[in-house]
Amino acid sequence: MEGSPLQLDGPEPLWRQAAEAILQEIASGKLASGARLPAERDLFTRMSISRVTLRRALQSLVEEGVLTPSHGRGWYVSAKVPKEFPNTLESFSETAKRLGLTPSSDVLRAEEAPATLDEAEELSIAPGTTLFHLERIRRLDQVPVAVDTSFFAVALAPHLGQVDFRTASLFGLLIAAGIDLARAETTIEAHGADSALAQHLDMGVGKSTLVMRQLIVDASGRPLLSSTIRYAGDRYRLRTSFSRTGKFAWPVGAQPVASDRRGAA
């Protein structure tokens, strides 16, 4: 595969890096729908990985519906790549699981407070409405990669104050409660880390961060959850997909990248 070489000492497993390299070839059009992939020997030689690692990457893409194996003939790009790939609203825990990494969090704040005027306006609720505020340092395999600050109306899920958010997924709990997390209105900006963020993420003050602000709404467009996620700039990449249909493609699965080392809730 063309592009940057795989990172042997990176946080992302080699098999997942290999899968991403193949996905990039498909996204760029170099591997069209129905096309056969190059021979396995050619692939693992070019990527400098073992056949076992390559096979795991290929099998993961089969499970995602991206590739189809043909016994004795090789691997083919599926005739129809699933609609949800890659434009999915994916939680931090779901991203970690997909990459074979272990998510965890340090909880900085988990408490109820009345909505300020700005918070109420963002969620289209009355000022003073009780909100649940959750702020966490997000980790993958124990490495801090982001600080996630979220808030939502307590009435949405009244009993989350008793949850241990060091390991629990906010997305998972809201979905289990029947909350319709349909889509996210998202903006992404680059900022330098202030002293508090730098300390939380074990990075230098002023170092680059990606700040992703999301307002998650239900199918009718009603605001449900606001979050601001500040990623260490050298530990994450955000992948998007664009088309000429006039529809915006939501950012998906922030991915850990090679560094000194894993989203949403």
Do 143 and 107 lie in a common domain? yes
The rounded distance, in Å, linking the Cα atoms of 196 and 230 is 12
Residue 264 lies in a domain: no
Bridge partners, 21 (sequence order): none
pLDDT score for 249: 41
Residue 250 lies in a domain: yes
Q: How confident is the model at residue 92 (pLDDT cuts 50, 70, 90)?
A: confident
Q: Flag whether pLDDT at 183 surpasses 80.
A: yes
pLDDT score for 33: 81
What's the Cα-to-Cα distance from 134 to each of 109, 227, 250, rounded to whole Å?
5, 9, 23
What CATH number is attached to the domain comprising 62? Answer: 1.10.10.10
* Final residue of a structural domain among 48, 77, 106: 77
pLDDT in tens, 31-86: 888 889 999 999 999 999 999 999 999 998 888 788 998 888 899 998 655 444 44
Instruction: State which amino acid sits at residue 156.
Output: L
Q: Flag whether pLDDT at 5 surpasses 80.
A: no
Q: Flag whether pLDDT at 142 surpasses 50.
A: yes
Q: How confident is the model at residue 176 (pLDDT cuts 50, 70, 90)?
A: confident
pLDDT in tens, 233-264: 887 766 665 544 444 443 444 455 533 333 44
Do 237 and 153 lie in a common domain? yes
pLDDT score for 199: 96
- Cα dihedral: 183, 263, 241, 36 (round 10): -120
Average pLDDT over the chain, rounded to whole?
A: 83
pLDDT score for 41: 92
Do 104 and 59 lie in a common domain? no
Residue 86 lies in a domain: no
Do 133 and 188 lie in a common domain? yes
What CATH number is attached to the domain comprising 197? Answer: 3.40.1410.10
Do 62 and 153 lie in a common domain? no
Do 63 and 101 lie in a common domain? no
pLDDT score for 239: 61
Do 132 and 71 lie in a common domain? no
Domain hosting residue 124, numbered range: 92-256
How many domains does one find in the chain?
2
Residue 265 lies in a domain: no
pLDDT score for 81: 52
**The two three-digit tokens of residue 187, written as one number:** 């903006």
